Amino acid sequence: MVYDIRNKVILITGAAGGIGAACARELYANGANLVLTDISQKSLDTLASEFAKERVLAKAMDVTNWSSIKNIIKLTITTFGKLDIVFANAGISWKESAYTVFNCDESEFEKIIDVDLLGVWRTIKTSLPEIVKNKGQVVVTSSIYAFTNGMCNAPYATSKAGIEMLSRSLRAELSGKGASASVLYPGWITTPLTDGVFGGDRLTTEMREIGFPPFLRKAISPEKVATALAKGLTQRKPRIIVPARWIPIQLFRGIVGIFSDWLLANHKRIQSLVLDLESRTKKQK
Ligand SMILES: NC(=O)c1ccc[n+]([C@@H]2O[C@H](COP(=O)([O-])OP(=O)(O)OC[C@H]3O[C@@H](n4cnc5c(N)ncnc54)[C@H](O)[C@@H]3O)[C@@H](O)[C@H]2O)c1
């Protein structure tokens, strides 16, 4: 059965970012009413100015803060009378430089988990009564990092694997209630989050080039993610994998994982890049 997005109320976290804004535009074009949330009110106002006022609520919301989320859910009900879909999309990675588990700062590691894993949990948990009531949908922005090795990006990959399982568990639990949960798995997308591995950082750029075969290295635009998301929602897809070249990798993730874990641990150049990265960040401290 087709799930019609028209007139549905969709809350997006991280809406002012690359993927969030592209998805907001696509879902709006498909007839949805939007609750746009992110850290900065200013960037939300800029995005909201593209849309008709009566179809959009744009409010700052921090996914690391329970009461901030609860307030926005209440405001959503006051404004639109309901919430149908929650798109838990906000996410961060290392602030400036990449680190290993060995040399990272404890507080930065935990901050990434707080936003990328616990932030998604808080967003979902607070929205669920409405989602269940309206037989709606939960979508989380996981990543190919849920099933590829997360070296030098461990708190991010840990979170993405965690929210994948959170959403998969939830889908099974919600099934009898007529609601559903989906996992969005973007590959490499051209947003500020990937600036480092696409030339901004010499070491992690080289790691990506060695660690992934050419056909998996290319980045795609956030608009392609948005098209896939809208289509996935209309079909209540359990998995939305974009670009499609990642579908066979996700399907054979067990075997691919054994090979890639071995390669990364045994590749001399990659191991020397890890040492370079650790000595560079030590000097910066
Ligand atoms: N860019 C990629 O290649 C890629 C690939 C796979 C998955 N993802 C995921 O897609 C999602 C969106 O990322 P993006 O690429 O658009 O990056 P982005 O940096 O453009 O957007 C992320 C947004 O999250 C917001 N945010 C950060 N901390 C927050 C908090 N505490 N509360 C609320 N909002 C917060 C930021 O302000 C930003 O607008 C993230 O979860 C990211 O991990 C990105």
- All structural domains of the chain with their residue ranges: 9-284
Judged against a pLDDT cut of 70, whether residue 175 lies above it is answered with yes
- pLDDT of 2: 94
User: Mean pLDDT, to the nearest integer, of 13-27?
Assistant: 98
Q: Measured between alpha carbons, how far is 246 from 83 in angstroms, rounded to an integer?
A: 31
Architecture of domain 9-284: 3-Layer(aba) Sandwich (3.40)
Residue-wise pLDDT for 228-275, tens only, equals 999 999 999 999 999 999 999 999 999 999 999 999 999 999 999 999
Ligand 1 within 6 A of 155 CB? no
The number of residues making up the chain comes to: 285
Over range 69-77, report the average pLDDT.
98
Query: What was the pLDDT predicted at 281?
Result: 76
Q: Say yes or no: CB of residue 164 within 6 Å of ligand 1.
A: no
CA of 189 to the centre of ligand 1 (A): 11
- Please tell me if the CB atom of residue 21 comes closer than 6 angstroms to any atom of ligand 1: no
Q: Assess whether the C-beta atom of 141 lies below 6 angstroms from ligand 1.
A: yes
How close is the Cα of 176 to the center of ligand 1, in Å? 31
Residue 285 or 277, more confident: 277
Mean pLDDT value across residues 15-29: 98
Cβ of 38 closer than 6 Å to ligand 1, yes or no, is yes
User: Is the pLDDT at 96 greater than 90, yes or no?
Assistant: no
Taking alpha carbons only, the member of 191, 186, 201 closest to residue 246 is: 186
19 C-beta closer than 6 A to ligand 1:
yes
Contact between 37 and 61 (Cβ < 8 Å): yes
Distance 276 CA to ligand 1 centre (A): 27
